[in-house]
Structure 1
Amino acid sequence: MAETVHPFLAGAASIEAVLDKLVDLEPVFLPVTEKRESLMALARLSSRVEALQAKLIACAGEVAEAEGHRDVAAWVAARTHGSGPACRRAQRLGTACDRRWQHLGRSLVTGEVNVDQGHVIVSALDDLASAASLVSVGAEEWGRVLARAEQHLVEQAAHFGPRELRRIGERILEAVAPELADQLEADQLEAAERRARRRTSLRIQHLGDGTALIKARVPDAVALRLTTSLEAFTSPRRSGDGAEKQPYDRRMGQAFCSLLEVLDPARLPLHGGDATTMMITMDLEALTTGLGTAALADGSRITAGEARRMACTANLVPAVLGTRSVPLDLGHTARLFTPAQRKALALRDRECRADGCSIPAAWCEAHHLQPWLLGGRTDLANGILLCSRHHHLVHDDRYLHDRMPNGDVRFARRR
């Protein structure tokens, strides 16, 4: 008597037999209409086969146990030489449908929902289920809410792809239980904000090449605020001065540097009895010539030109040393242009005063024509507006600059 083959295995063999008949057929000769229908049919069949495999994986734990594998996904990946992550993803889908979302599982194997949609729906339903502790309803009522959510998402799969379903899933409670949506959203947002505050961190790693790597994790609202501020700095640089367009991440990094330089030190927390300042140390010769180097408080070094540029806008205290490194003078910080002076400079200059630059005054920095460190006054006669790029150039010893008859500044590379 012939051994009876289980219908599941017999069906898989039948599918494979039909596929064998298609192997030698050449689809290139199909008319457009039939190509379209074939594509749709194969996509539907492929998804149903994947759903059946996921369903089988969910109940085949003994297969992995018999051969000492960690789980069925690992066994399938090893035996088929397939992708481990893909097999594990199928296992998660099959397990979720087997244990929690049977209606979705049925829709997957019948082809009403494809596998990609199924993953999105499971994620949305699991997220909603995990919010049970945040809503003040009984377990029975919450179970009915979850059932309505599952039914609604399966129905929407007939009209929307995974991306749209993800958005619908994020707001699913508004569709199936609007009376609970506001309460849940407020509780979820409060929990997310508390979690974000706990995870907030910032790390600065000096790389030893003149740069430092800053890695931060902050709440979304803070990140959005920072992005908005930095993009405000970078926006006019996209088309203003004709310079070669720089990569977005470099412009954002430069904008971050500019943002720190324009912070009002008077509004920073007191540190050591005074508003936060930066101490720089430099030789008298470097101060007067703009050549050489200066040391910051932590011992790192910058060029004298960069120190003089920073002195125009940053809250620096210059400690000037004589020839034997004896302190000659400890400078003061009352040298920044006042808001009223900034407005007057904006009205007078209207834009960056570098020759050919059209960056508007609102995005420029105030520069001392006669350096403040060398006795220059902080007044309108000694002030001029320069954009960030040209403010760097005016303190860069690789460039010469001179005033034109109309008061603009012209730059030339040293030879």
Structure 2
Amino acid sequence: MVHPLLAGAASIEDVLDKLVGLEPVFLPVAEKREALLALARLSSRVEALQAKLIACAGDVAEADGHRDVAGWLAHRTHVSGAAARRAQRLGVACDRRWQRLGGALLAGQVNVDQGHVIAGALDDLASAASLVSVGAGEWGGILVRAEQHLVEQAKHFGPRELRRLGERILEVVAPELAEELEGRQLADAERRARRRTSLRIQHLGDGTALIKARLPEAVALRLKTSLEAFTSPRRADGRCARDGEAVPYERRMGEAFCSLLEALDPARPPLHGGDATTMMITMDLAALTTGLGTATLADGSRITAGEARRMACTANLVPAVLGTRSVPLGLGHTARLFTPAQRKALALRDRECRADGCSIPAAWTEAHHLQPWSLGGRTDLANGILLCSRHHHLVHDYRYLHDRMPNGDIRFALRS
């Protein structure tokens, strides 16, 4: 006896054989519209059914000696391996984790493209469980609400909009946890960015060199701010006029980079790896004073409040501080920065990084306010201490506790 799944597939193929012989060009507009929507829905449902079958067809690959069913399917049907693995990921996600989404896909309430986006957003949210302070049961309920909400929104939004909704889904289903999660995710991203930071110079042999750099977003914005101080901002058409000549923005920025290097004083080594640029940053008053939460840079990118407070020690950082209901309380000033004379005095006093056990020399360190400037700490020698870049980051890292030892050094301990 033939299984209903095979019998149904054969029936669908018989119907398709009849449909492909028809000429749709003479259909009225209304019926063309209806046929397009119907076929799109049917195609998506068939793909969803195939993904469901793939999720439980590992024995097929094993029987034929293939690594997995996606590889087997790509080999036997000549589809791309990427397409087969994409279908396998969706099928496994719906079979093992997101059954509500799987049911909506099979019913035609969600199309396959939407399904991939929703599954990805839910997987990202599930992987963040270790970053928030809630129990497993409560977090499970949050995931259920998130899945339900995104499936419902698929009635109104396409994949691009759903991706944006998925990125902020916690603000909808558990707003009390959204800020905590975002802060910790940003902190993790900042640590990864520092590990991935690199710069490579390749001489091309024609009098030019290719510079490839991968930098943290905040550092890239500081560089962009400095370069645009040497050139006009980008115009709407992407070109800038100079002496009657239309010069591409990218060339202007390249010339600005050369000018920036020429403007550096070779007789004086820069402090903290270079004189910091002045940037505007927006953050809540509570985030500024506690170091918890997030802040927004001038280009709209987000950083942790801890990173903003660290930058405040080393950059001409001007915070636009917000109170309740995002009302501006005022703009900060740049008097928080230690002067070159104070830096020299700190170097003479501290000699090296003052973290317990660290011997990074003073020339490679950064000046840190013991009592944060945002809490009234003064920019003077009594409130200053030298820390290397790593330990300066740890001072502002919520994962670590720190205290001063009798000799004035700072000792760190990972929070238990």
TM (normalized to structure 1)? 0.61
Q: 1:190 to 1:270 in 2, by over 3 A?
A: closer
Aligned mate of 1:145, from 136, 142, 155: 142
Preserved CA contact (<8 Å) 2:170 2:177 = yes
Aligned mate of 2:191, from 188, 191, 194: 194
Preserved CA contact (<8 Å) 1:196 1:219 = yes
Aligned to 1:90: 87
Preserved CA contact (<8 Å) 1:113 1:157 = yes
Aligned mate of 2:106, from 104, 109, 118: 109
Aligned to 1:183: 180
Aligned to 2:33: 36
Aligned to 1:253: 254
**Ranges in structure 1 where 5+ consecutive residues have no aligned partner:** 276-415
Preserved CA contact (<8 Å) 2:58 2:69 = yes
User: Deviation at 1:183?
Assistant: 0.9
How does 1:314-329 map onto structure 2 within 5 Å? none
Separation (CA, whole Å) in 2 of partners of 1:155 and 1:77 = 33
SS in 2 for 1:239: strand
User: Deviation at 1:253?
Assistant: 2.4
Preserved CA contact (<8 Å) 2:240 2:246 = no
User: Deviation at 1:259?
Assistant: 2.6
Aligned mate of 1:118, from 115, 118, 127: 115
User: Deviation at 1:43?
Assistant: 0.8
Most deviating of 204-213 and 123-132? 204-213
Separation (CA, whole Å) in 1 of partners of 2:271 and 2:172 = 51
Please say if 1:243 is aligned against 2:245: yes
Aligned to 1:63: 60
Please say if 1:25 is aligned against 2:22: yes
**Ranges in structure 2 where 5+ consecutive residues have no aligned partner:** 276-416
Aligned mate of 2:3, from 3, 6, 14: 6
Preserved CA contact (<8 Å) 1:76 1:87 = yes
SS in 2 for 1:226: helix
Q: 1:240 to 1:184 in 2, by over 3 A?
A: same
SS in 1 for 2:41: helix
Q: 1:14 to 1:238 in 2, by over 3 A?
A: same
Separation (CA, whole Å) in 2 of partners of 1:152 and 1:49 = 24
Q: 1:62 to 1:243 in 2, by over 3 A?
A: same
Q: Structure 1 counterpart of 2:59, which letter?
A: E
User: Deviation at 1:228?
Assistant: 4.0
Preserved CA contact (<8 Å) 2:101 2:115 = yes
SS in 2 for 1:216: strand
SS in 1 for 2:212: strand
* Pairs aligned (count): 268
Q: Structure 2 counterpart of 1:235, which letter?
A: P
Q: Structure 1 counterpart of 2:118, which letter?
A: I
Output one character per residue of 1:314-359: Cα deviation in whole Å (capped at 9) or x when no partner.
xxxxxxxxxxxxxxxxxxxxxxxxxxxxxxxxxxxxxxxxxxxxxx
Separation (CA, whole Å) in 2 of partners of 1:225 and 1:39 = 50
Preserved CA contact (<8 Å) 1:234 1:252 = no
SS in 1 for 2:10: helix
Aligned to 2:218: 221
Q: Greater Rg, structure 1 or structure 2?
A: 1
Q: 1:209 to 1:138 in 2, by over 3 A?
A: same
Preserved CA contact (<8 Å) 2:199 2:214 = yes
How does 1:259-298 map onto structure 2 within 5 Å? 259-265=260-266, 268-269=269-270
Separation (CA, whole Å) in 2 of partners of 1:50 and 1:134 = 35
Separation (CA, whole Å) in 2 of partners of 1:149 and 1:175 = 8
Separation (CA, whole Å) in 2 of partners of 1:245 and 1:105 = 53
User: Deviation at 1:205?
Assistant: 2.1
Question: Share of identical aligned residues, percent?
Answer: 79
User: Deviation at 1:266?
Assistant: 6.4
Separation (CA, whole Å) in 2 of partners of 1:93 and 1:157 = 16
Output one character per residue of 1:41-62: Cα deviation in whole Å (capped at 9) or x when no partner.
1111111111111111111001
User: Deviation at 1:264?
Assistant: 4.8
Separation (CA, whole Å) in 2 of partners of 1:67 and 1:189 = 45
